[in-house]
């Protein structure tokens, strides 16, 4: 039986993955934000990893859906179904009632979109639901002190959005939200492989390439030679139409991701330019913290540092930062309530 304290739940409702955190338990669920249903039977047949594995492999009667696009809910009913199953799985099939839930959402979402997210969670029987913007949650999860007058900066690169924010006195001073992040990086890799190698690959292969050999910047070793890594991938040859195995290295991935990385760097610069002078002085001294799955791309921290002259660090747990932050925010419920109330005014 759960104690009262373990009824606090934090949810990172992401475009690519959904993570659920519970107090005293940590991250208890990490699943792709996917759901599969049978149109003929009109029933859900899989969610999460098992649904993602079906992409591009299903007969006509089975549809695999990503109910969140660019960080917001695009299919309310499918999101509700997916989230219900995730929460039940996280609770071990115990009745999901009496929960206090914080859900992380991108800073650029509208009030209508926030209410849609809140409604999905309330339908699960949650007693209290709070919507927290992802950059604030990411900063808390990364261990940054957002309550002092000394400003801090976070760059949270998720699956659907990149949220960049400067925070002080418990709130966001300036922010930028790009609907361009990890999934667009995958698209860039698919386009590059098609143009440069004449091979057609799927999103899953592109993601594997990004994770294993993706790079924002190629470094040199002590002999001033480029440090290279490679992996084999499989795709369809556009000329013969037949399956083929080919090799991709991190130098090629740097080229594939160049434009995407430039967009991130430009957004960081723009955000700092919008900040008041005193805030900018704090950031010049303390630098910024990278969070989110996209923040784990090799040498992205070095690239941003080189291009901006700022100190750049990766969070200790970048992938889980938003989920950890949503859960930790419940440790001071009064402050959370005041923050959410101030955002509604």
Residue 312 shares a structural domain with residue 249: no
What number is the average pLDDT over the span 18-23?
92
Q: What is the pLDDT of residue 334?
A: 80
Residue 234 shares a structural domain with residue 166: no
Residue 231 shares a structural domain with residue 103: no
The yes-or-no verdict on residue 135 having pLDDT over 90 is: yes
CATH number, position 304: 3.30.420.40
Burial of 268 (0-12, 13-18, 19+ CB in 10 A): buried
Instruction: Measure the CA–CA gap between 6 and 239, rounded to whole angstroms.
Output: 57
The answer to whether the CB of 138 falls within 8 A of the CB of 291 is yes
Residue 34 shares a structural domain with residue 109: yes
Instruction: Measure the CA–CA gap between 269 and 234, rounded to whole angstroms.
Output: 38
216-275 pLDDT, tens digit per residue, is: 999 888 888 889 999 999 999 999 999 999 999 999 999 999 999 999 999 999 999 999
CATH number, position 243: 3.90.640.10
Residue 123 shares a structural domain with residue 37: yes
124 pLDDT tier (thresholds 50, 70, 90): confident
5 pLDDT tier (thresholds 50, 70, 90): very low
Residue 155 shares a structural domain with residue 300: yes
The yes-or-no verdict on residue 125 having pLDDT over 90 is: no
- Tell me the residue range of the domain where 161 lies: 140-180+258-319
Residue 124 shares a structural domain with residue 191: no
Residue 274 shares a structural domain with residue 159: yes
pTM over 0.85: yes
Query: What residues contact residue 27 under an 8 Å CB cut-off, 6+ apart?
Result: 19, 20, 21, 320, 323, 324
Residue 174 shares a structural domain with residue 205: no
Residue 116 shares a structural domain with residue 220: no
Q: What is the pLDDT of residue 93?
A: 60
Residue 243 shares a structural domain with residue 97: no
Q: What angle do CA 129, 133, 139 make, to 5 degrees?
A: 115
Q: How many domains does the chain divide into? A: 3
Instruction: Measure the CA–CA gap between 197 and 75, rounded to whole angstroms.
Output: 36
Residue 44 shares a structural domain with residue 120: yes
| Residue among 279, 268, 275 at smallest CA distance from 304 | 268
183-230 pLDDT, tens digit per residue, is: 999 999 999 999 999 999 999 999 999 999 999 999 888 888 889 999
Q: What is the pLDDT of residue 50?
A: 95
């Amino acid at each position: 039986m759960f104690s009262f304290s373990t009824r606090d739940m934090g949810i990172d409702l992401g475009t690519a993955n959904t993570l659920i955190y519970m107090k005293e338990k940590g991250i208890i669920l990490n699943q792709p934000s996917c759901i599969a249903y049978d149109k003929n039977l009109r029933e859900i047949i899989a969610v999460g990893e098992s649904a993602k594995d079906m992409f591009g492999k299903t007969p006509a009667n089975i549809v695999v859906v990503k109910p969140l696009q660019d960080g917001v809910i695009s299919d309310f009913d499918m999101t509700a179904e997916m989230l219900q199953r995730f929460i039940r799985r996280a609770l071990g099939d115990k009745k999901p009632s009496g929960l206090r839930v914080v859900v992380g959402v991108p800073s650029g979402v509208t009030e209508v979109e926030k209410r849609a997210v809140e409604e999905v969670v309330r339908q699960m029987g949650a007693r209290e639901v709070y919507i927290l913007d992802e950059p604030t949650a990411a900063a808390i999860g990364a261990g940054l002190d957002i309550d002092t007058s000394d400003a801090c900066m976070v760059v949270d690169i998720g699956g659907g959005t990149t949220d960049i924010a400067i925070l002080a006195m418990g709130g966001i001073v300036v922010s930028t939200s790009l609907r361009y992040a990890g999934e667009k990086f995958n698209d860039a890799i698919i386009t590059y492989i098609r143009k440069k190698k004449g091979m057609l690959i799927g999103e899953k292969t592109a993601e594997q390439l990004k994770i294993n050999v993706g790079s924002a910047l190629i470094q040199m070793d002590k002999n001033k030679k480029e440090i290279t890594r490679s992996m084999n991938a499989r795709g369809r040859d556009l000329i013969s139409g037949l399956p083929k195995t080919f090799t991709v290295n991190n130098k090629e991935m740097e080229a594939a991701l160049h434009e995407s990385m430039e967009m991130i760097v430009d957004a960081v610069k723009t955000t700092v330019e919008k900040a008041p002078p005193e805030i900018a002085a704090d950031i010049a001294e303390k630098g910024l913290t990278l969070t989110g799955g996209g923040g784990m791309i090799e040498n992205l921290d070095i690239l941003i540092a080189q291009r901006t002259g700022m100190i750049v660090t990766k969070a200790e747990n970048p992938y889980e930062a938003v989920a950890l932050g949503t859960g930790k925010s419940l440790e001071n419920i009064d402050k959370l309530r005041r923050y959410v109330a101030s955002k509604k005014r």
